Structure formats: C-alpha cells, structure tokens
Amino acid sequence: MSNKYVPAYVAAYSDSSFTNPHDVALPNDPPDCKGTFTHMGAKYWGFETARHKATTLNADKSGFRFDHNAHHWLKLGLVTPAIVTEIQISTRWFTGNQVLSIAVILFREGAPTEILKRTPLKPDSEHSFRIKPTEADECLVRCFHEGGIARINLMGQLLSEEPRANILEDAVISHVSNEHYGKPKDAVDGNRDVGYMLGWESARTGFGEQALFHLKNPAIIQEIVVDTYMHRLNSPLSCHAFGIEAESQIELEKAMTKQPKWSIKFDSGEERTPEVFQTYMQEQRYLDEPVANPESFTI
C-alpha cells in the first residue's frame, strides 16, 4: 500500500492560546520563529495551549487539585476519507514546552478506533507512529496535559469517493438581516483560502441574524457544515437551519412569517414570545415585564 500525505484540516480544538492552530495540519516544515515575538511572547508555529490544565487551585485556596487524565485536544478532518497507516508528529522548536504525551483516535462515520494509546513525545523532535491500516474521515488527538505541537500529518492512501457538491456556492442569497462586517456569500465559498477571518459577520445588533439561501435546484441535503474558521472570539453561540419549499414569491414570504420564534422564561415561570425578538432585545423591553427579576431569563 502506498504511503502518501493525507490532506487534513483543523476542525475543532480545545484551546490554542499562543498560536494559530490551523498551521498544525499543514505539510510544511515548521519554520524557525526564533527572535520573533507577539503579544503572547515568543512566536511558535502550530498548536500551543494554555497551561495548568491538570492542576487547579482549590476554592478555599488551601491547595491544588491534580488530574492525571486532564488533557487538551484537537480534531482533524480529512479532506477525503483515507486508509491511514502512519501518524507523524513534530515538536520542532518546542524545546521544553512541547505536549508531553498524546493519544490518537481515528473516526470513520462517527465510529472510533483508538490507534495510539497514551505515548510520550520528545522535545524538538520528529515522531513517526506506524499503525494498523485504518479507514478514517476524522482524527482526534488528545494532548496530556498541555503544551505545543508543531505539525500533525496523517499518511496513507486516499479512498476514491465521489466528492459531494457544495450546493450553497451557486445559491442566490436574500433576506439578510445584517452583513456589517462580512457577507453570507463569503461564508459559503467552502474554502479556507486566507489566514484571517473571512465570512459572514454582523454588527452586534441584538439577538440573532438570518439569511435565506435560494438553491439553484431542489436538493436532498446530506450534511450541513458551519465553519467558524479563525472566528476565535466572535462566533455565534448556535446556528439553526430550516428548509422551505415554496413555488412562488408569495408562498416564500408567507413561509418566512411562520418561521419559529424565540421564547423566554423568567425565573418566576412566566413566559413571553416576542413578535420580533431582536427588537425586543435591542430595546431591552424585558426590563418592562412585570416579573420579580426581569434582568435574567432562559431563552
């Protein structure tokens, strides 16, 4: 079986306070950043977490609590499903602040296979782990307990699968509630072409934004991907998708008026369903509600 680089990307991670974690999945040799500094200190390439994951201060500050199994993590998505035969881990330039040990789990359509039990990593070194050939479309790396990794590459053989179409790329977009900083069209191109935030970003106007995507042709949706790439501190808390089947503009506008509405429930048990929730929040109308504590509630 041929052993080639399997293209992957960072799909999610627990923390990467010191670096841009998306660099860790690239096949590039980690560059020497010696002498280069950021507001976080010396610059490193790859994935580097905050410290003190395993040790926390007791509430009464009388001592500490240690957890041997505490860990950070990152998840890689494979661009194309593959049979993985080797994991390559580099701690280049992390001379004393590397992740001390890792465990690796591969996933195929959600089913996990642990292919590397907790294993130590050396500082400033290249590591190669040959594994039993395993089909995968995702890879979870557990990092005990914290520290840095310069590069994680998967090696193996790509599985020949018909690529699925991103049907939003050809969609016509309307009913956009706000696009102050970035447009919905920027969010549906489906590629991470730049190393900075690019996508749909609204002004901070209230609670909830919306956009309507008109598909070129009716379609069966297999998966919805919401990518918050590089939106580290300004991503939405949740995203909700609804399908509309309308044969005319009149039917469409009628359907839009029937979209689900947000409700709130106060601590006293009283509930409200505002007609226009964003306006309700912007104008702080909840403060006018005749309840014991109108300042906090469940949405």
116: left (phi over 0), alpha (psi -120 to 50) or beta: beta
How big is the CA angle at 198 (ends 196 and 199), to the nearest 5 degrees? Answer: 155
Mean pLDDT of 41-62: 94
Asked if residue 144 has pLDDT above 80, the reply is yes
* Least confident interval from 118-122, 128-132, 141-145, 224-228: 224-228
Mean pLDDT of 51-72: 96
Asked if residue 109 has pLDDT above 90, the reply is yes
Biggest CA–CA distance in the chain, Å, is: 71
Asked if residue 61 has pLDDT above 90, the reply is yes
| Confidence (pLDDT) at 9 | 95
Asked if residue 206 has pLDDT above 70, the reply is no
Mean pLDDT of 165-193: 88
Domain boundaries, the chain: 4-158, 264-298
In 10 A of CB 146, how many CB atoms? 23
Mean pLDDT of 233-241: 88
d(CA 280, CA 128): 56
| Confidence (pLDDT) at 157 | 96
Average pLDDT, the chain: 92
Cβ neighbours of residue 24 under 8 Å, at least 6 residues apart? 10, 46, 47, 74, 149, 150, 151, 152
| Confidence (pLDDT) at 278 | 87
Mean pLDDT of 199-227: 87
* Least confident interval from 53-67, 96-110, 213-227: 213-227
Asked if residue 252 has pLDDT above 70, the reply is yes
Tell me the CATH number for domain 4-158: 2.60.120.260
| Confidence (pLDDT) at 146 | 96
Asked if residue 58 has pLDDT above 90, the reply is yes
